[in-house]
């Protein structure tokens, strides 16, 4: 990242043409690559915590995942990235692995809330 900024500044000092928008796109690409690596670790943590034998701990982890997912899904997805889809994958894994009805019900409730946030008009129609 520092190298990218140094290149942009160097171009300015030498009066070379540098497209700042292109530099910004490179910055965003790098940022999302880092986020993808961070999320792969966090997703596994949420799956592990959401699968905990103590149902209260599992429910707390799943609710925390819901809150994080809702915050992240409020933002527009950039082209060629699939992070919004990746945010939902731990819910799928947890639903497949859980035998507890209360945990499965919580997962469904979380997905309903996330969908209602993402598609407010369309999803509300189906809840009537």
- HSE-CB of 19 using CA atoms within 13 angstroms: 4
- CA dist 55 and 24 (Å) reads 44
- Which of 13-22, 64-73, 117-126 is predicted most confidently? 64-73
Sign of CA dihedral 92, 40, 32, 106: positive
> Any idea which residue has 């060629």 for tokens?
80
pLDDT tens-digit readout, 17-40 = 556 666 667 777 777 778 888 888
Q: Give the percent of the chain with pLDDT over 70.
A: 65
How much is the pLDDT for 35? 80
Alpha carbon 36 to its chain's center: 9
pTM beyond 0.75, yes or no: no
pLDDT tens-digit readout, 66-96 = 998 888 777 665 555 567 778 889 999 999 9
Which of the two residues, 79 and 42, has the higher pLDDT score?
A: 42
- CA dist 126 and 128 (Å) reads 6
- CA dist 111 and 62 (Å) reads 11
Which of the two residues, 16 and 110, has the higher pLDDT score?
A: 110
- CA dist 110 and 100 (Å) reads 15
């Amino acid at each position: 990242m520092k190298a990218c900024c140094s290149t942009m500044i160097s171009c300015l000092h030498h009066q070379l043409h540098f497209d700042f928008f292109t530099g910004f796109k490179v910055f965003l690409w790098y940022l999302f690559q880092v986020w993808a690596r961070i999320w792969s670790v966090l997703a596994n943590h949420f799956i592990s915590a959401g699968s905990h034998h103590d149902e209260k701990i599992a429910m707390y982890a799943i609710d925390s995942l819901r809150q994080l997912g809702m915050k992240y899904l409020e933002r527009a997805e950039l082209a060629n990235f699939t992070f919004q889809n990746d945010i939902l994958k731990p819910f799928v894994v947890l639903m497949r692995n859980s035998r507890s009805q209360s945990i499965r019900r919580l997962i469904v409730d979380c997905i309903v809330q996330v969908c209602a946030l993402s598609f407010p008009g369309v999803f509300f129609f189906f809840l009537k």
